[in-house]
């Protein structure tokens, strides 16, 4: 197949999942229950107002998850390589990402982990959006991935990746934005808080070590990533490990370990949002 037209990029939509609306219906029932309670059992402990609609920890929070790359990118080099302005430089619209030595792709990994995160975070009450709808199309561009978080007015956004470094390198790291005299500047501080929360949770939840080859204690700061430079909401990247390292590659191909990663990332987001 030849490269797909650039218009394909525009087709890549969102998975939007609204999870709010649990509030007002329960209120009337709760008031009725309270009134009945007051009339008959004044000396008993108060009955919870809305037992059937218990508050969830992430009610009202909006989270955007960006699964890095896309499984169809390799089929569309022209569209993917188109240069876009990320304020500090011009970069390709997207890339294919890396893969393990036995060809488990980064795009498939990020898609799976992101969907696991989505389920966990929705179950905790958050409204969650992904920046792409499947793993066999093209894009969206890194500029669009940032715009999706901005448009959603996300309380937190995370771009999920895994690295492709030398085989002896291992461990994970989190990438946070720097001030660039651009739209990300006001959220650099909050992004750092988000990054530290996710770093701590990832370490605890996965047991993977801090990166042996990038950053300090798994924290890195960059001004060359469009997904960060163009974000006006708190945002980080996580590089879950090195797909070219045999031990980490094996872990990434285990669905149980991907669930651990997703849970650790979701917990990190929640810790940040509750702080």
Residue 52 among the catalytic residues: no
Which residues is 105 bridged to in the sheet? 99
Considering beta carbons, is residue 61 or 69 the nearer one to Zn ion?
69
Considering beta carbons, is residue 68 or 234 the nearer one to Zn ion?
68
Considering beta carbons, is residue 66 or 155 the nearer one to Zn ion?
66
Q: At closest approach, how far in Å is the CB of 29 from Zn ion?
A: 48
Q: At closest approach, how far in Å is the CB of 79 from Zn ion?
A: 18
Q: At closest approach, how far in Å is the CB of 73 from Zn ion?
A: 11
Asked if residue 166 lies in contact with residue 244, where contact means CB atoms within 8 angstroms, the answer is yes
Q: For the stretch 239-258, what's the b/e string if a residue is b when 16 or more beta carbons lie within 10 angstroms of its beta carbon?
A: bbbbbbbeebbebbeeeebb
Rounded distance between C-alpha atoms, residue 137 and residue 156, angstroms? 25
Q: At closest approach, how far in Å is the CB of 125 from Zn ion?
A: 29
Distances (CA, A) of 38 to 46, 97, 102, 235: 8, 62, 67, 48
Distances (CA, A) of 164 to 103, 125, 213, 243: 12, 34, 12, 5
Rounded distance between C-alpha atoms, residue 218 and residue 45, angstroms? 49
Backbone φ and ψ of 124, nearest 5°: -95, 5
Catalytic residue among 99, 106, 239, 248: 239
Chain residues that interact with Zn ion, rule: CB under 5 A? 68, 97, 161
- Neighbouring residues of 54: CB distance < 8 A, sequence distance ≥ 6: none
Considering beta carbons, is residue 75 or 124 the nearer one to Zn ion?
75
Q: At closest approach, how far in Å is the CB of 239 from Zn ion?
A: 7
Considering beta carbons, is residue 73 or 206 the nearer one to Zn ion?
73
Rounded distance between C-alpha atoms, residue 172 and residue 161, angstroms? 10
Q: Catalytic residue numbers?
A: 239
């Amino acid at each position: 197949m030849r490269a797909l037209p650039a218009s394909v990029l525009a087709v890549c939509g969102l998975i939007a999942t609204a999870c709010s609306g649990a509030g007002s219906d329960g209120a009337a029932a709760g008031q009725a229950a309270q009134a009945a309670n007051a009339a008959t059992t004044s000396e008993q402990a108060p009955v919870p107002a809305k037992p059937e609609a218990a508050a969830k920890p992430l009610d009202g929070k909006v989270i955007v998850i960006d699964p890095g790359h896309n499984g169809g990118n390799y089929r569309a080099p022209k569209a993917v390589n188109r240069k876009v302005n990320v304020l500090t430089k011009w970069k390709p619209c997207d890339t294919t990402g890396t893969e393990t030595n036995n060809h488990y792709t980064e795009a498939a990994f990020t898609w799976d982990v992101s969907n696991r995160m989505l389920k966990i975070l929705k179950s905790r009450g958050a409204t969650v959006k992904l920046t792409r709808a499947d793993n066999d199309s093209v894009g969206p561009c890194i500029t669009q991935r940032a715009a999706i978080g901005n448009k959603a007015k996300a309380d937190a956004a995370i771009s999920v990746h895994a690295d492709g470094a030398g085989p002896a390198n291992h461990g994970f790291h989190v990438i946070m934005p720097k001030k660039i005299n651009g739209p990300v500047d006001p959220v650099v501080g909050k992004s750092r808080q988000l990054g530290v929360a996710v770093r701590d949770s990832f370490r605890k939840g996965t047991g993977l070590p801090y990166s042996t080859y990038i950053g300090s204690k798994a924290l890195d700061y960059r001004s060359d990533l469009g997904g960060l430079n163009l974000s006006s909401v708190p945002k980080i990247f996580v590089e879950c490990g090195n797909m070219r390292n045999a031990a980490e590659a094996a872990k990434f191909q285990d669905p149980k370990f991907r669930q651990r990663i997703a849970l650790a990332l979701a917990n990190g987001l929640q810790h940040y949002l509750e702080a």
